[in-house]
């Protein structure tokens, strides 16, 4: 759910981005493409609406995973949301017909529903976020929170003064996977308004995760703003001390820390692109982790983002072998882009991106740290680059 283009906000060389969320939902079900009718689920208390859409395209292949494409958006995002849906359908979903779930803290307009539904090859569902999942909890000390926001504004911290942005980060960290519209799905692909998919996606990434026992997939990894998460790592260490049973043996601590966990190096997976298993977020370890973080109030007293929260949890509680770099999916969320570096992958995917402009080994990228964990599988020098 964008607030303003990040490229207009990054006036310095520092380019740590903000989070915007859109999920594409996938589900093994019979869809109504053949009839040109999509059943659209409204927020609780509203009537079910049937939206007629064009049926010019051939019926898509049956999808094989219990998954969804998910987008968090506002009515004001309509043009950028339509563009993202169009590119996702063109590059991937027209062959599969996976359903879409759109969530908003307010009811979607009829125009929003009509325009995005017209592009979808599978069922489309629209829902409203429950009040208690979106807004700042009553137990947050607003005096303290206001003081901290004002300090961040004075420090020119991106979105430092925004409460809605904090609401979004907390929702993406601990609530999206609980929404009734996604409860029956296991996997999701998060899609945001205004993103670009530069290559054909010739595999089904949901099936890939399922068949290879993967939990989390990413395309871009970079450093977080330290000012926004000053107490996050100490809180993570407190949790690990109290719950060592949740930290898996084959974890990715060396991706997160350069000194065995004493300090956080700020690396995280950029969560505006996520293809992941919601059963992990719903599981015992992550549920305990989120509740612990939430109880400390850091989403509001600081500006903890869902990207470091998800990344730290996946690295420690799922393990490095269950995290996958989708190097063949060309993806862009301005100002950063991942473009497949391998010529055969680039050609096979009919990629439109310029490899020379890929963010992968930019000085602000953490991909070399990820490569270092699997040095035997990569063709880099001793420093992992």
274 is catalytic: yes
CA angle, 355 then 359 then 365, to 5°: 150
The CA angle 382-347-338, to the nearest 5 degrees, is 50
Please check whether residue 103 is in contact with residue 129, taking contact to mean a CB–CB distance below 8 angstroms: yes
Give the span between the Cα atoms of 164 and 171, in whole angstroms. Answer: 10
Tokens matching residue 232:
């996050």
CA angle 364, 368, 370 (to 5 degrees): 115
d(CA 57, CA 119): 10
CA 316 vs CA 156, 257, 312, 366, 385: distances in Å: 32, 11, 6, 17, 23
Phi-psi region of 220 (alpha: psi -120 to 50; beta: other; left: phi over 0): beta
**Among 20, 65, 89, which Cα is nearest to 274's?**
20
Q: How far apart are CA 76 and CA 147, in angstroms?
A: 30
Rounded Cα gap, residues 214 and 211, in angstroms: 8
Phi, psi of 39 (to 5 degrees): -80, 125
| Burial class of residue 275 (count of CB atoms within 10 Å of its CB; 0-12, 13-18, 19+) | buried
Query: Which of 105, 148, 192, 274 is labelled catalytic?
Result: 274
CA distance 24 to 6: 22
Rounded to whole angstroms, the Cα distance separating 263 from 283 reads 26
Residues annotated catalytic, as ranges: 274
């Amino acid at each position: 759910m964008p607030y303003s283009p990040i490229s207009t906000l990054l006036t310095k060389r520092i380019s740590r981005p903000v989070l915007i969320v859109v999920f594409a939902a996938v589900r093994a079900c019979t869809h109504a493409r053949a009839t040109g009718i999509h059943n659209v689920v409204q927020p609780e208390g509203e009537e079910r609406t049937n939206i007629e859409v064009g049926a010019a395209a051939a019926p898509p292949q049956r999808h094989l995973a219990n998954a969804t494409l998910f987008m968090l958006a506002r009515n004001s995002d309509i043009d950028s949301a339509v563009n993202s849906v169009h590119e996702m359908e063109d590059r991937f979903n027209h062959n599969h017909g996976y359903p879409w779930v759109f969530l908003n803290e307010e009811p979607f307009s009829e125009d929003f529903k009509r325009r995005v539904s017209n592009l979808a090859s599978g069922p489309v569902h629209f829902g409203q976020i429950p009040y208690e999942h979106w807004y700042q909890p009553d137990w947050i000390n607003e005096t303290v929170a206001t003081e901290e926001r004002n300090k961040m504004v004075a420090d020119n911290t991106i979105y430092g003064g925004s409460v809605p942005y904090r609401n979004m980060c907390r929702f993406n960290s601990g609530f999206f996977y609980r929404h009734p519209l996604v409860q029956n799905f296991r996997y999701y692909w998060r899609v945001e308004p205004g993103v670009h998919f530069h290559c054909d996606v010739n595999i089904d990434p949901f099936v890939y995760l399922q068949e290879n026992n993967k939990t989390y997939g990413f395309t871009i990894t970079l450093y977080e703003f330290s000012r926004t998460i000053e107490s996050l790592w100490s809180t993570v260490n407190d949790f690990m001390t109290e719950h060592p049973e949740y930290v898996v043996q084959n974890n990715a601590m060396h991706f997160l820390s350069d000194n065995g966990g004493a300090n956080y190096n700020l690396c995280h997976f950029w969560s505006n692109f996520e293809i992941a298993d919601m059963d992990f977020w719903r599981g015992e370890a992550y549920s305990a982790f989120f509740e612990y973080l939430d109880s400390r109030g850091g989403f509001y007293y600081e500006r903890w983002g869902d990207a470091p929260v998800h990344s730290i949890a996946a690295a420690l509680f799922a393990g490095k072998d269950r995290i996958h770099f989708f190097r063949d999916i060309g993806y862009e969320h301005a100002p950063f882009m991942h473009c497949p570096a391998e010529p055969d992958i680039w050609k096979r995917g009919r990629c439109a991106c310029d490899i020379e402009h890929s963010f992968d080994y930019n000085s602000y990228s953490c991909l070399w740290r990820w490569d270092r964990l699997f040095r035997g599988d990569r063709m880099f020098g001793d420093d992992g680059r």
